Amino acid sequence: MKMIDSLFCMAILLSLAASGCGGGSSEPAAPAYQPTNPQHQAMFQPLPKVMASESNPITEAKVTLGRMLYYDTRFSKNGDISCNSCHLLDQFGDDGKPTSPGHDGQLGVRNSPTVYNAAAQFAQFWDGREPDVEAQAKGPVLNPVEMSMPDATAVNKVLKGIPGYAPLFAAAFPDAKTPVSFDNMALAIGAFERGLVTPSKFDFYLKGNGTKLSAEERAGVTTFIEAGCSTCHMGPLLGGNMFQKMGLIKPYETADKGRGDLTGNEIDNYFFKVPMLRNIAETGPYLHDGSIASLEDTVRLMGEHQLAKPLTDAQVASIMTFLPTLTGEIPTEYIAMPELP
């Protein structure tokens, strides 16, 4: 009886495999098996589970502390701004505004980028002026139009004035002579941010399950590559690994010279870090100045200013079908706002 069952079962399985059907005959037919396009796999890569760093190993104690510091408004001049004020963890890591209000409501000049997956980038900030999220974390704290603390000493004073932080810093930095410090604050926030990864169905697709994307979405990936978008938006983040000139083909009117303003070299004028496209459908408005509200308009604008041939309506539509597959899952438990000391 058992033997007969097994044979029967195997026959069913073989028949299913031959038909390419993964479901039972009474259920709606699952899509036919579709291998992942090797060109797509070569161009993009799945996100890692965490974005590790040799110089700042991730530990539970650092992440616990970093998560608190990320939400803590007390080391801003008016005590009202935290990392999460502009990079909202429950809103795909940014604030949805063209530029963000900082100290006394002052607006910055560049759009706040999402913090999700940001640690895997080759450099931080729109102009790439810091090498990693640890160095990045210090910038807004001391920026006069953001959190506006006068200097590292002032931040240290705030941290030391909150007794509950002392044991948490000690646990996170057991070998440090003075665990509570601005430097270690940045390391803890960085360690926390290295876990802010948002895998999406595009990752399952890249790992080999081609069926995870519909035929239209797969075609969108091909359109994206063939139109030239992936010359700059490639790799695991679809961006975040190079600088490129804004207005490459057709000059783009912007007062912001990007890296040129940073280095003072004319050759760097209008170069910006190519932004990642992970969660792009949820992280508008777009461009370095947040001046474009619609993703579709942004895609069209990229075609006009960055590509040798402007995108056709069909190409824009196809790319717009693909981009939402990059919207990932927010790690709700990991980001839950903790009780602060």
Q: Per CB under 8 A, which region of 188-196, 209-217, 239-247, 328-336 contacts a second copy?
A: 239-247
Axis crossing angle, helix 182-193 with helix 60-71, rounded to the nearest 10: 100
Verify binding: residue 244, a second copy, rule CB under 8 A: yes
Of 289, 250, 237, residue with least CA distance to 111: 289
Task: List the one residue from 4, 5, 27, 54 that touches a second copy (CB under 8 A).
Answer: 54
Q: Per CB under 8 A, which region of 184-192, 194-202, 262-270, 287-295 contacts a second copy?
A: 262-270
Asked if 132 contacts 170 with a C-beta cutoff of 8 angstroms, the reply is no
Residue closer to a second copy, measured from CB, 120 or 295 = 120
Residue closer to a second copy, measured from CB, 81 or 311 = 311
Tokens describing residue 52: 């590790």
Q: Per CB under 8 A, which region of 8-16, 57-65, 258-266, 323-331 contacts a second copy?
A: 258-266
Task: List the one residue from 249, 262, 281, 320 that touches a second copy (CB under 8 A).
Answer: 249
CA gyration radius, the chain: 23
Q: Which of residues 9-48 bind a second copy (CB under 8 A)?
A: 39, 42-43
Tokens describing residue 312: 């056709």
Q: Active site includes 296?
A: no
27-62 burial, b at 16+ Cβ within 10 Å, e below that, comes to: eeeeeeebebbeebbebbebbeeebebeebebbebb
Task: List the one residue from 3, 255, 267, 314 that touches a second copy (CB under 8 A).
Answer: 267
Residue closer to a second copy, measured from CB, 81 or 120 = 120
d(CA 179, CA 170): 5
**Looking at 134, 146, 193, 217, which residue is catalytic?**
146
Asked if 273 contacts 126 with a C-beta cutoff of 8 angstroms, the reply is yes
Asked if 161 contacts 72 with a C-beta cutoff of 8 angstroms, the reply is no
d(CA 149, CA 155): 7
Q: Per CB under 8 A, which region of 106-114, 170-178, 257-265, 325-333 contacts a second copy?
A: 257-265
Instruction: State the minimum distance, in angstroms, from the CB of residue 302 to a second copy.
Output: 12
Instruction: State the minimum distance, in angstroms, from the CB of residue 252 to a second copy.
Output: 11
Tell me the DSSP string of 157-212. Answer: HHHHT-TTHHHHHHHH-TT-SS-SSHHHHHHHHHHHHTT-----HHHHHHTTBGGG
Instruction: State the minimum distance, in angstroms, from the CB of residue 122 to a second copy.
Output: 5
d(CA 307, CA 195): 34
Mask for 111-150, x = binds a second copy (CB under 8 A): ---------xxx----------------------------
Task: List the one residue from 150, 264, 338, 341 that touches a second copy (CB under 8 A).
Answer: 264
d(CA 104, CA 73): 14
Residue closer to a second copy, measured from CB, 56 or 76 = 56
Residue closer to a second copy, measured from CB, 133 or 155 = 133
Asked if 201 contacts 213 with a C-beta cutoff of 8 angstroms, the reply is yes
Q: Which of residues 166-205 bind a second copy (CB under 8 A)?
A: none
Of 89, 55, 73, 61, residue with least CA distance to 155: 73
Instruction: State the minimum distance, in angstroms, from the CB of residue 273 to a second copy.
Output: 11
Applying CB under 8 A, the residues found at the interface with a second copy are 39, 42-43, 54, 120-122, 225-228, 230-232, 234-237, 240-245, 248-251, 259, 263-265, 267-268, 271, 306, 308-309
Catalytic residue positions?
146
